[in-house]
């Protein structure tokens, strides 16, 4: 598996009505903690129980941690063993070389000397990804967990996970209660609607030199056809789908009624997104979907492979403890004001089950297609 580090700053957007409504575009929601909108601040308080007074310092720490982690990844090279936030919110950086501890701590992170490099764990991931065509239905996914210096294989049946992993070293089996499902609603709905009624959610807008596209989930655009936005106003046809393997799709913007805007949807109005720096594992994140609205949680893992069943295996996903529902697919994930991904799928959330959601990283889509996120 190729490890992707997308650390350049770019702006992200959702599409808003353009030519017909340009004079009455909604105002950006007022900024809250550390520049995030009041909408996000409220959702972070509600979903993570973070006091309003603590939000500014938390957001500032997480932004700084993301920048430090990216810098140390490049500095440590092959000895780099991953990074994460500990329960106190402090950045931890792993290394296989004890002589690097001083450099890590000088950068403001806590050092952890580990036995396996991130590259070696990625090699185990690549082996498991190569077995995706024969993965048992009980195995729900696998991912690198730097904090435990292992590759975690998740399954409803631990024996199936052990059989799937075989004699690979560095593997830890984790039992889960639910299997992931895709979050598209094929009964019809709102937000991003296929001509025959399938409903997903608008993610971000992206462009090449001449054309704008809606970035959404690939299991949505795999249906093809022309997709419409709110009010059933047509946007355009599917330009590209990558699913399974990845889970993203591009809808070409042919209708001049729609135009790019540096905004992401929130329940109290849109908020501006300023970049796409990847957040460290443990950071607070928020997602917006046409069914669930704005919901928040924590980034639990990166580069996770997820088995949706029936041969539909998707790799390199972000895993969160955000609750998502049918119709939310393709919706945006942000960390503060930084774009992270678009919703792929998740597990059911109800009553005592918080659920989990998986997201296709934005940076991978941009790099693979020569695209840019539209700046505000």
Tell which residue, 61, 43, 155, has the closest CA to residue 108.
61
Quote the domain boundaries for residue 83.
54-113
To the query of whether residue 247 is one of the catalytic residues in this protein, the response is yes
CATH number, position 67: 3.30.300.50
**Residue 120 domain-assigned?**
no
CA dist., res. 164 & res. 175, Å (int) = 14
To the query of whether residue 219 is one of the catalytic residues in this protein, the response is yes
Over the Cα atoms of the chain, what is R_g?
20
CA dist., res. 146 & res. 161, Å (int) = 20
**Residue 68 domain-assigned?**
yes
Among residues 185, 247, 316, 328, which one is catalytic?
A: 247
**Residue 148 domain-assigned?**
yes
Q: Give yes or no: residues 136 and 160 share one domain.
A: yes
Domain end call among 159, 175, 191: 175
pTM to 2 decimal places: 0.75
**Residue 166 domain-assigned?**
yes
State the maximum Cα–Cα separation within the chain, in Å, rounded to a whole number: 63
Tens of pLDDT along the chain (376 residues)? 344 433 332 223 323 322 222 222 233 344 445 567 787 888 899 898 888 888 889 989 999 999 999 999 999 999 999 999 999 999 999 999 999 999 999 999 999 999 999 999 999 999 999 999 999 999 999 999 999 999 999 999 999 999 999 999 899 999 999 888 765 322 222 489 998 889 999 998 888 988 989 999 999 999 999 999 887 889 999 999 999 999 999 999 998 888 776 566 555 566 777 788 899 999 999 998 889 988 999 999 999 999 999 999 999 999 999 999 989 999 999 998 888 999 999 998 876 778 999 999 999 999 999 999 876 6
Q: How many domains does the chain have?
A: 2
Among residues 37, 47, 205, 219, which one is catalytic?
A: 219
DSSP structure class, residue 324:
-
Among residues 37, 228, 329, 344, which one is catalytic?
A: 329
To the query of whether residue 119 is one of the catalytic residues in this protein, the response is no
CB-CB contact of 224 with 200 (8 Å): no
CA dist., res. 376 & res. 3, Å (int) = 29
Which residues are 335's β-sheet partners? 338
Which residues are 342's β-sheet partners? 360
> Three-state DSSP class for 109?
coil
Tokens 């520049």 correspond to what residue?
A: 35
CA dist., res. 342 & res. 204, Å (int) = 8
């Amino acid at each position: 598996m190729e490890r992707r580090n997308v650390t350049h700053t770019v702006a992200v957007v959702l599409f808003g009505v353009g030519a017909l409504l340009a004079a009455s575009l909604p105002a950006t929601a007022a900024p809250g903690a550390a520049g995030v909108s009041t909408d996000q601040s409220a959702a972070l308080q509600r979903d993570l129980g973070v006091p309003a007074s603590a939000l500014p310092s938390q957001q500032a720490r997480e932004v700084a941690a993301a920048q430090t982690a990216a810098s140390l990844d490049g500095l440590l090279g092959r000895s780099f063993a991953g990074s994460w936030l500990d329960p106190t919110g402090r950045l931890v950086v792993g290394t296989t070389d004890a002589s690097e501890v001083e450099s890590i701590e000088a950068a403001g992170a806590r050092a952890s000397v580990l036995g396996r490099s991130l590259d070696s764990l990625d090699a185990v991931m690549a082996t498991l990804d190569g077995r995706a065509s024969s993965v048992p239905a009980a195995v729900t996914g696998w991912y690198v967990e730097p904090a435990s210096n292992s590759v975690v294989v998740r399954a409803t049946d631990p024996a199936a996970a052990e059989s799937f992993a075989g004699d690979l070293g560095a593997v830890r089996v984790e039992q889960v209660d639910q299997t992931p499902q895709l979050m598209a609603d094929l009964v019809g709905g709102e937000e991003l609607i296929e001509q025959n009624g399938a409903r997903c959610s608008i993610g971000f807008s992206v462009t090449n030199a001449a054309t704008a596209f809606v970035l959404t989930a690939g299991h949505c655009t795999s249906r093809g056809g022309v997709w419409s936005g709110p009010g059933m106003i047509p946007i355009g046809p599917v330009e590209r789908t990558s699913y399974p393997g990845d889970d993203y799709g591009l809808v070409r913007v042919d209708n001049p009624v729609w135009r790019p805007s540096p905004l992401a949807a929130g329940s109290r109005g849109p908020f501006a997104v300023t970049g796409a720096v990847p957040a460290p594992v443990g950071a607070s994140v928020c997602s917006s979907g046409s069914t669930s609205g704005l919901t928040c949680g924590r980034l639990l893992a990166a580069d996770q492979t997820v088995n949706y069943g029936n041969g539909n295996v998707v790799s390199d996903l972000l895993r969160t403890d955000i609750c998502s529902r049918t119709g939310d697919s393709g919706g945006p994930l942000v960390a503060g004001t930084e774009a992270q991904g678009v919703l792929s799928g998740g597990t059911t959330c109800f009553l005592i089950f918080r659920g989990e959601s998986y997201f296709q990283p934005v940076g991978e889509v941009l790099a693979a297609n020569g695209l840019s996120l539209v700046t505000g």
